[in-house]
Each structure stands twice: as structure tokens, then as C-alpha cells.
Amino acid sequence: MYRELHDLLTDPSHDRGTRLLRLQGWRGDQLCRATDAGLVARLAPAFCALGGLAVALVGSSALAAAVAVTAAVGVVAANHPVEWVANALAARGGRVPLPRNRAAKRLGCAIGTVLLVVAAVAFASGHAVAGAASAGVLAAVAGFVAVTNLCVPSAIFTVLWGAGRAQAPSLAVLLPGGRRR
């Protein structure tokens, strides 16, 4: 599976930006829409980075839980809530909306949800350092994704489950008997 990741990231027939969007599972028309969206595709990771940083600095279990809810919505809905807003603004402005997130990108929301729930529980139980560390990991990784557009969770997904499954519309593809739906 590492070979698939290597091939996606070094394919000479695509520019760097396209290779990174393909890593997130987008192909065909969806890839074109994601390309046209440009920096808007980085808003959700930027929101999570800022949310993780705020949680780490404030040390609030309630704030961690609130940001975790937005990440959890990103796992099960077509897009992250921040992308809903971006798509609504795109529709009003006559611009191309972001496509639905694929399984590879949804893994990032799932990991973010877990890190934020761990932070919330840690802060609530008096383990401030563990809570700040968990939220800090989210802030660092999501910040990296927002700045570089190299989606680390998508790379992990591709290595573990392959580029074909990365294109699935949900994480259900990972369930026993799960198929590309």
C-alpha cells in the first residue's frame, strides 16, 4: 500500500496541488471542483487547528467537546460544518462549491474527534497536561494540513487501506463487508 501512496505523490502527469487533492480521494469532476475551490479546501483543517490551539490554551472541556462535535459532523456528513458555510457562500457568489469529502479526508475528522474527546475527558478529570497535549497534537497536524494541503490522515488512510478505498464516500468502506458506496 505504501507504493500507492508513493505513486500518488510522485505522479508526473499531475502538478503538486492535484496530487495532494487526489491523495484526499477526489477524482474526476470532484477533483476539478476541489481544484477550482483553491484555498477554500483548507478552511476546515484551519478551523480545527485554531480550535485545537484554543482548547490547548484555554484548557476547557466544554470547548473541547464543542469543537469535537464539529469534527464528528465532518465524519458523518457530506462536508465539515465550516465547508457548509463556504459552500453556501460559493453558491451565493456563483463559485464552484467544494465536493463531498471522501473516506480518506473523513479519517482526519475522525482522528480529530478522538483527540478532542480525549482532551475533553482529560480536562474534565483534572489532567490538564494530557488534555493540552491531545489538543496540541490536533492543532499541529491540522495546522500542517491547512498550510501545506498535504492531508496526513489521507496519507495514513492510503497506506493502510489503499487508494481505491480512499475514494469511497464514507468510512463505511472500512466496516466488515464494506464496499465502495
Nearest-10 Cα torsion for 37, 31, 73, 156 = -120
| The three grid cell numbers given for residue 70, joined into one nine-digit string | 464539529
CB 127 within 8 A of CB 30: no
Residue 37: pLDDT band by 50, 70, 90 thresholds?
A: confident
How far apart CA 85 and CA 42 sit, in angstroms, is 13
- Average pLDDT over the chain reads 92
| The three grid cell numbers given for residue 5, joined into one nine-digit string | 501512496
Count CB-CB contacts under 10 A for residue 134: 25
How far apart CA 156 and CA 125 sit, in angstroms, is 31
Q: Which of 5-19, 77-91, 111-125 has the lowest mean pLDDT?
A: 5-19
C-alpha closest to that of 167 among 43, 41, 28: 28
Give, in order, the Cα–Cα distances in Å from 117 to each of 73, 74, 101, 123, 132: 14, 15, 22, 10, 12
Residue 139: pLDDT band by 50, 70, 90 thresholds?
A: very high
Question: Is residue 181 over pLDDT 60?
Answer: no
Residue 180: pLDDT band by 50, 70, 90 thresholds?
A: low
Question: Is residue 178 over pLDDT 90?
Answer: no
Question: Is residue 110 over pLDDT 80?
Answer: yes
CB 65 within 8 A of CB 51: no
Question: Is residue 177 over pLDDT 80?
Answer: no
Q: What is the pLDDT of residue 64?
A: 99
Q: What is the pLDDT of residue 73?
A: 97
CB 161 within 8 A of CB 98: no
Question: Is residue 134 over pLDDT 50?
Answer: yes
Looking at residues 7-32, what average pLDDT do you find?
Answer: 89
Integer-rounded Cα radius of gyration of the chain: 16
pLDDT single digits (tens) 40-91? 989 999 999 999 999 999 999 999 999 999 999 999 999 999 999 999 999 9
